[in-house]
């Protein structure tokens, strides 16, 4: 139960941190484009807000990136978010599989640790030595 809570807290914290980093990157990009337009190695258009754009907390939707350029390849942020969320949910998948495996073994009268059929109600498992039955 504690492991599940820890996984939940870590996952939610990392999702919030990712959103914060993306928004901060957009704000810093806007600040640099407005304050230092001449510092670029190549020409860039000066930043202007798009028409009918409503900024949220001072950040306009055009400030938030839609892709990353890595070695001349455009990687959409949605693909990065999907991959990142898959990694975030991996601990939950492992916990679910572990619980399901132990539940199935319990219902089939098998050792919870190794899956060997149980022949007696007390003692130790012949396969792994795990204690069986009440202490």
pTM, to two decimals = 0.43
pLDDT at 81: 79
Which DSSP category does 28 fall into? H
Task: Say if CB 59 and CB 27 are below 8 A apart.
Answer: yes
Say if residues 111 and 118 touch (Cβ distance below 8 Å).
yes
In order of 48, 49, 55, 90, 112, the CA distances from 52 in angstroms are 12, 9, 10, 41, 62
Whether the CB-CB separation of 116 and 42 falls below 8 Å is answered with no
CA 63, CA 32: separation in Å to the nearest integer?
11
pLDDT of residue 101: 92
What percent helix, strand, coil does the chain show, rounded to 5?
55, 10, 35
Q: Which residue has the tokens 């149980």?
A: 118
Per-residue tens of pLDDT for the chain, all 135 residues? 677 777 778 878 888 888 888 777 777 777 776 776 565 566 656 666 666 666 666 666 666 667 776 677 777 877 777 888 788 888 888 888 999 999 998 898 888 888 888 877 778 888 888 888 765
Domain-wise residue ranges, the chain:
2-42+56-118
Residue 1's pLDDT is what?
63
112 is written with which tokens?
């919870």
């Amino acid at each position: 139960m504690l492991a599940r809570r820890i996984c939940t807290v870590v996952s939610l914290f990392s999702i919030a941190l990712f959103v914060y980093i993306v928004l901060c990157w957009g704000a810093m990009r806007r600040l640099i484009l407005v304050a230092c337009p001449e510092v670029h190695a190549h020409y860039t258009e000066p930043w202007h807000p798009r028409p009918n754009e409503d900024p949220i907390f001072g950040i306009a939707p055009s400030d938030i990136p839609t892709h990353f350029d890595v070695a001349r390849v455009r990687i959409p942020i949605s693909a990065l978010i999907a991959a990142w969320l898959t990694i975030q949910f991996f601990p939950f998948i492992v916990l679910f599989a572990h619980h399901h495996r132990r539940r199935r073994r319990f219902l089939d009268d098998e050792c919870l640790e190794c899956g060997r059929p149980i022949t007696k109600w007390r003692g130790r498992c012949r396969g792994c030595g795990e204690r069986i039955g009440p202490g």
